[in-house]
């Protein structure tokens, strides 16, 4: 990467945890945090054994960590079951009748499920899976809206040791098909449709299209959610509610090895093909249990709301597994934040008395734009803690979040992590670590994070570099599904034995981390990861396109927007309708979130003499800057002049 990683942000404001908050907090001072952190780094065995000991194991582990770079085994020899830890574990006392899930659908329908009820539903659905010949180790695609059944399906898989792979409901049929092929899934769990801004998303139809022509899928289980007409393929498709008629609520949990695969979640990388990030059982559960407890400083009576969709890692770790493993009430909301009006979130907080809100900077920036009047209509005094995740939060958005949403009294935890890390890695602990707007502050327990230069040497304070992690941690990915070589190469080879995050960062003189964003060819659009080469592949698969280069452009609302430079084949004439067609084409291949915000037709793309597209130049052109920097390797300067003139 030739670009320098620069970070010009200078932020002087510091917010100490308020006395009232500190009093009830689990970690009460910077001193206590540092003591615990030191132990977690120097004696990880001891630290993590204590955390793991708070969970239920069918058989205790023999060793906390076996590390043969870059392959880790956490709690090897141990056996446990995730659904037991999320459900059965809480049935022995008063938590039994506490709400496990509070749910609101976009049209306004509501449900509450106690831990006991959720346990029953999970056991019954696990029996449905068994009835449909889904076995331990089988891969199951879950393509559902954010409804309780998504959590039920995930937990039911874990109950029998099946491996789920949740596909975000906004992804297209092609994306589903690719994922099925990559992991060799045997079943799909879906719904007839889901709601988005009042419209019905035809989920089952997308699944039908994905399965067209034959795949490894033998069974499709369909939940009736939206009541839209769908096709039922005899012999392949069954209705969720019908299947329930054949089963009872008794389903013994299968204790699996600590390293048994728990789930695969596909995410974008710097190549054209999404990677199946593989998470396993014991370490992942310990990681999300522990981060959830300390970062959100949980109390028994909390109503906790993470606004993420179930299709992203945040939905896995902090909508479903983290809260339930801790016996915490998790609120789920199916729809858009501005449906039917821009006060939907505030309405929900008031109605359910939400205490902890965990959301994304892109949402916060949208709220700012929609105006404070929408918040003023609602009583938000139940909130006591706010969280942010998904991308860097700009200090002004942070201040607005603190003042307007948190009424100036709630600490903000800006949590940095990734699909690959499984759990939160860099974050304030709200009762212990003073916060600075825009900084994710300090590493969580057991996380040995550092900022290094191109040679892997740690840089000094306030110098930008690459963010790496120097020691394994319990919830880390174990591999890219079916591709150990790619796993090694992508994450562990640039600096041998160190995990490369792909992010740029700097540390200030207090050791606080300031994340700049991705330094590889991955975009972060509205908190969603998109690989530039994935979008390029989609564009090039269109018959009119010769070449395509996709870059990100800074965007006030979405963080980044997608700009595509496209050259067409000789006989093709460019037009606005071709632009529309190309956007639709990307929508079909990947999903609506990947559609370019802008398409620019060009006669040629700027390339180095060795034929590499010079993205840095395109980025500058896309953001309307005059091209500075080094152009000495550019093959043809006139290309650049033409691109800039396109404005």
Binding site for ligand WTA (CB under 6 A): 267, 312-314, 389-392, 414-419, 440, 501-503, 515, 517-518, 524, 529
Which region, left, alpha or beta, applies to residue 420 given φ > 0 means left and ψ of -120 to 50 means alpha? Answer: alpha
Structure tokens at 643: 């691109």
CB nearer to ligand WTA: give 75 or 312: 312
Distance CA 588, CA 582 (A): 10
- C-alpha 359/C-alpha 362 separation (Å) is 9
The residue (of 416 and 499) whose beta carbon lies closer to ligand WTA is 416
Determine which helix (DSSP H) or strand (DSSP E) holds 330, and give its type and residue range: strand 329-333
Q: How far is the CB of 342 from ligand WTA (least distance, A)?
A: 24
The string of DSSP letters for 110-174 reads EEEEEHHHHHHHHHHHHHHHHHTT--TT-EEEEE--SSHHHHHHHHHHHHHT-EEEE--TTB-HH
Q: Between 576-589 and 532-540, two packed helices, what is the crossing angle to 10 degrees?
A: 120
Closer residue to ligand WTA in complex, CB, 517/591? 517
- Closer CB to ligand WTA, residue 138 or residue 414? 414
Residues 590 and 580 sit within 8 Å (Cβ to Cβ): no
The answer to whether 169 and 201 are in contact (CB under 8 A) is yes
Largest Cα–Cα separation, the chain: 74
Between 518 and 542, CB nearer to ligand WTA: 518
**Residue with Cβ nearer ligand WTA (115 or 416):** 416
Long-range CB contacts (within 8 A, 24+) of 643-646: 643/565, 643/600, 643/602, 643/606, 643/617, 643/618, 646/600, 646/602
**Nearest approach, Cβ of 544 to ligand WTA (angstroms)?**
32
How far apart are CB 386 and ligand WTA at their closest, in Å?
A: 13
The CA distances from residue 71 to 45, 258, 448, in Å, are: 17, 14, 17
Q: What are phi and psi of 52, to 5 degrees?
A: -65, -30
Q: Which is nearer to ligand WTA, 474 or 517 (CB)?
A: 517
Which residue of this chain has its Cβ atom nearest to ligand WTA in the complex?
419
| Tokens standing for residue 28 | 């009460």
Nearest distance, CB of residue 167 and ligand WTA, angstroms: 14
Cα Rg of the chain (Å, integer): 24
- The SS3 of residue 392 is coil
The minimum distance between CB 361 and ligand WTA, in angstroms, equals 8
Cβ closest to ligand WTA, residue 90 vs residue 507: 507
Minimum gap (Å) between residue 132 Cβ and ligand WTA? 31
Provide the minimum distance between the beta carbon of 277 and ligand WTA in the complex, in angstroms, as a whole number: 8
Give the Cα separation of 479 and 265 in Å (integer). 11
Least distance between ligand WTA and beta carbon 173 (Å):
22
- Nearest CB to ligand WTA, comparing residues 32 and 418: 418
The sign of the dihedral angle between the CA atoms of 268, 269, 272, 274 is: negative
Q: Is 478 helix (H, G, I), strand (E, B) or coil?
A: coil
| Least distance CB 419 / ligand WTA (angstroms) | 3
Question: Of 182 and 420, which has the nearer Cβ to ligand WTA?
Answer: 420
| CB of 168 vs ligand WTA, minimal distance in Å | 11
Burial 594-605 (b: 16+ CB within 10 A, else e): bbbbebbbbebb
Distances (CA, A) of 356 to 19, 327, 412, 442: 18, 15, 10, 21
Task: CB nearer to ligand WTA: give 195 or 400.
Answer: 400
| Shortest Å distance, C-beta 316 to ligand WTA | 10
Contact between 170 and 230 under an 8 Å Cβ cutoff? The reply is no
Residue with smaller CB distance to ligand WTA, 205 or 486:
486
In the complex, what is the shortest distance from the CB of residue 76 to ligand WTA, in angstroms, rounded to a whole number?
A: 26
| End-to-end Cα separation, the chain, in angstroms | 27
């Amino acid at each position: 990467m030739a670009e320098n990683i620069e970070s010009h942000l200078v932020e002087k404001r510091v917010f100490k945890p308020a006395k009232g908050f500190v009093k009830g907090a689990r970690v009460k001072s910077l001193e206590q945090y540092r003591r615990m952190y030191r132990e977690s780094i120097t004696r990880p065995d001891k630290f993590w054994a204590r955390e793991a000991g708070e969970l239920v194991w069918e058989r205790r582990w023999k060793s906390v960590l076996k590390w043969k770079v870059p392959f880790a085994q956490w709690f090897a020899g141990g056996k446990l079951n995730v659904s037991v830890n999320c459900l059965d574990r809480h049935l022995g006392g008063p938590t039994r009748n506490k709400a496990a899930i509070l749910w609101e659908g976009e049209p306004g329908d509501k449900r509450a499920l106690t831990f006991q009820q959720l346990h029953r539903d999970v056991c019954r659905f696990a029996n449905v899976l068994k009835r449909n010949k889904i076995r331990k180790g089988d891969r199951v695609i879950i393509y559902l809206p954010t409804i309780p059944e998504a959590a039920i399906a995930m937990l039911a898989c874990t109950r029998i040791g099946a491996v789920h792979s949740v596909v975000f409901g906004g992804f297209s049929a092609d994306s589903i098909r690719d994922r099925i092929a990559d992991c060799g899934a045997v079943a799909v769990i879906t719904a007839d449709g889901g709601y988005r801004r009042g419209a019905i998303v035809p989920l089952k139809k997308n699944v039908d299209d994905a399965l067209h022509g034959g795949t490894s899928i033998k069974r499709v289980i369909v939940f009736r959610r939206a009541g839209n007409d769908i096709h039922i393929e005899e012999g392949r498709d069954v209705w969720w509610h019908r299947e329930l008629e054949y089963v009872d609520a008794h389903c013994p949990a299968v204790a699996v090895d600590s390293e048994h695969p728990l789930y695969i979640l596909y995410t974008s990388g710097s190549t054209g093909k999404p990677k199946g990030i593989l998470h396993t059982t014991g370490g992942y559960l310990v990681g999300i249990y522990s981060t959830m407890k300390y970062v959100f400083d949980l109390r028994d009576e909390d109503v906790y709301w993470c606004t993420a969709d179930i299709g992203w890692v945040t939905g896995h770790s902090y909508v479903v597994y983290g809260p339930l493993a801790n016996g915490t009430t998790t609120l789920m909301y199916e729809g858009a934040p501005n449906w039917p009006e821009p006060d939907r979130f505030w309405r929900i907080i008031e109605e359910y008395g939400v205490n902890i809100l965990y959301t994304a900077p892109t949402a916060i920036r949208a709220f700012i734009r929609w105006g404070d009047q929408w918040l003023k209509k609602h009583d938000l005094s139940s909130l006591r803690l706010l969280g942010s995740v998904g991308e860097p939060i700009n200090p002004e958005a942070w201040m607005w979040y603190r003042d307007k949403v948190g009424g100036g009294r709630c600490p903000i935890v800006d949590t940095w992590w990734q699909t690959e890390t499984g759990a939160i890695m860099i974050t304030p602990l709200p009762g212990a670590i003073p916060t600075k707007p825009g900084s994710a502050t300090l590493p969580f327990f057991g996380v040995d994070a550092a900022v290094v230069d191109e040679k892997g040497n740690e840089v000094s304070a306030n110098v930008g570099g690459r963010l790496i992690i120097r020691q394994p941690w319990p919830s880390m990915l174990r591999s890219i599904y079916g591709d150990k070589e790619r796993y090694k190469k992508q994450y562990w080879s640039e600096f041998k034995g160190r995990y490369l995050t792909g992010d740029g960062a700097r540390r200030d003189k207090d050791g606080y981390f300031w994340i700049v964003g991705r330094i590889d060819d991955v975009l972060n659009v509205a908190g969603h990861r998109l690989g530039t080469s994935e979008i390029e592949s989609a564009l090039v698969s269109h018959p009119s396109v010769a070449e395509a280069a996709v870059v990100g452009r800074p965007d006030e609302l979405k963080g980044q927007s997608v700009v595509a430079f496209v050259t067409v084949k000789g006989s093709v004439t460019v037009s606005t309708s071709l632009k529309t067609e190309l956007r639709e084409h990307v929508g079909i291949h990947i999903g609506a979130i990947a559609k370019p915000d802008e398409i620019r037709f060009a006669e040629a793309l700027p390339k180095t003499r060795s034929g590499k597209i010079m993205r840095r130049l395109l980025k500058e052109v896309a953001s309307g800057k005059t091209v500075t920097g080094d152009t000495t390797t550019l093959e043809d300067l006139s290309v650049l002049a033409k691109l800039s003139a396109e404005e």
